[in-house]
A and B are shown apart, each in its own frame.
Chain A
Amino acid sequence: MNITLKVWRQKGPSSVGAMETHQMTEVSGDMSFLEMMDVLNDRLVREGKEPFAFDHDCREGICGTCSMFINGEAHGPGRNVTTCQLHMRSFKDGETIHVEPWRSAAFPIIKDLTVDRSSFDRIIQAGGYVSVNTSGATQDANSIPIPKHDADEAFDSATCIGCGACVATCKNSSAMLFVSAKVSQLSLLPQGKAESNERVLRMVDQMDLEGFGNCTNTGACEVECPKGISLTNIARMNREFLSSNLTSK
């Protein structure tokens, strides 16, 4: 198939970017979107031109590194897939595809399609952990009885790979889906519950400091999330933040 690509080109964080057009011929429908980008970059290198910088790592949908805004959607068309799991057969022959970086004040562009998502790391550092001594004398996790339903719900929240699609797709660049999933995966389990009050306050504080927008409950994040993280996480965080604030000393 033949594809017209319009890809965001931006030299550096403070440069002005613009879309750059490239014609792709003989694209196989079995290629992943990233493999198609590899072919383009390979051609650009052989022509002595600058390849496009883009993030990728595991290429099997679990690391959360790939991050393209394709044809107006985070990770492109299709549901519950990351860009690396997106195949070219999802597009029509002769189609024009727009490829842009995640756009958010809290995710500054480094170059072309790569953005700095360390704001997510700082939110995790603020409270997204359980303070346990890992000296080797830790208790066997299975010795704490946990209802199956709670374990499943915590696991569903923990499947968030922190890719940032929620922020990218939210019209307000809100990080609520990510932060609430990380709050929930711990507060739903006994090991995390002990610190849940303090955790939610710290993580929301950090989220605000990073310059993400506010949630207006459009629900776009849940639809575009490659892991199908549910909006119930956001409601849980709203609840926890309110009660933690009201009961904190």
Chain B
Amino acid sequence: MTMSKTGILKSSLSKKYVMAFTGLFLCIFLVGHLIGNVQLFSTGPEGQAAFNSYAEFMTSNPLIKLMSYLTYASVLFHVVDGFVLTIKNRKARPVNYVVEKGNLNSSWASRNMALLGTILLVFIVTHMQHFWWTMHFGDIIMVDGVKDLHTVVMDFFNPTVNRLAAVMTGLYVFAMISMGFHLNHGFQSAFQSLGLNHPKYTPMIQFVGKAFSVIVPAGFASLPIYLFLIQS
């Protein structure tokens, strides 16, 4: 039997497998991250101690470390692969239609995954600068022998401490809405790319995907809104 001439890694389909695998892994990451965030709804000293020790655990546990490296790799491959695919897809139609009505045959999110992904990339970079960088390399106060990330987050969305708190909350919510649309298409699309399409299971996958794309971003967005409102 002959191996694919272009090789599996160079094939257009393989690029789709990479998008699907990394995308689904990042969905798992989102669930983990959200579970951590929910603890921030406890704003008092007890919540502070609990969240800070949780943050300490998340940055020191070797298994979590491995997962975090897999997450960085997934983001990197998802972004690079997505960029390569977008360029190739643009080249596949050198002259555009004068009139094109994509809205009659496909969802807006499915046609704008690259745009939504770019918004998310900008969000991830700034988000990591605000919290990840501060936690790892920033000037951070120690409370009870652990870094006080709880106060960093609280202050970030506190308009009396951070004069840009309102803008940051707004941008955070905007990024989460973008993520909702990205997931709305991406979740179910990943299964299709991997060939997992079945009359019995596909409607279930689509339902779970739609629910995931609403619940997870809403969960993330609710925290900065809550922190901003109780501190205003």
Contacts and interface: CB of A to CB of B under 8 A. Distances in A.
Partners in one complex: yes
Interface of A: 6, 8, 17, 19, 69, 71-73, 98, 100, 103-106, 169, 171-174, 197-198, 201-202, 204-205, 207-209, 211-220, 223-224, 231-232, 234-242, 244-245, 248-249
A171 B107 CA distance: 12
Interface in B177-223: 185, 188-189, 192-197, 199
Given A104-B92, A240-B195, A242-B13, 18 more contacts: A71-B99, A73-B101, A73-B105, A100-B97, A171-B111, A201-B2, A204-B12, A212-B92, A214-B16, A214-B85, A217-B185, A218-B185, A232-B197, A237-B13, A238-B17, A241-B13, A245-B3, A248-B3
Nearest to A235: B197
Given A71-B101, A205-B5, A248-B4, A217 B189 contact: yes
Interface of B: 1-6, 8, 11-17, 85, 88-89, 91-102, 104-107, 110-111, 113, 185, 188-189, 192-197, 199
Q: Is the interface of B mostly helix, strand, loop or mixed?
A: loop
A231 B224 CA distance: 40
Given A103-B95, A218-B106, A218-B107, A198 B1 contact: yes
A239 to B, nearest CB: 3
Nearest to B107: A218
Contacts of B11: 204-205, 208, 241, 245
Contacts of B192: 217, 231, 234-235, 238
Contact of B193 (A17, A173, A217, A249): A217
A223 B88 contact: no
Contacts of A237: 13, 195
A25 to B, nearest CB: 23
A22 to B, nearest CB: 15
Contacts of B194: 238-239, 242
Contacts of A174: 89, 92
21 contacts: A72-B101, A73-B101, A105-B93, A106-B92, A171-B106, A173-B92, A197-B1, A198-B1, A201-B3, A204-B4, A211-B92, A213-B91, A214-B85, A215-B12, A216-B113, A218-B106, A218-B110, A231-B192, A236-B197, A238-B193, A244-B4
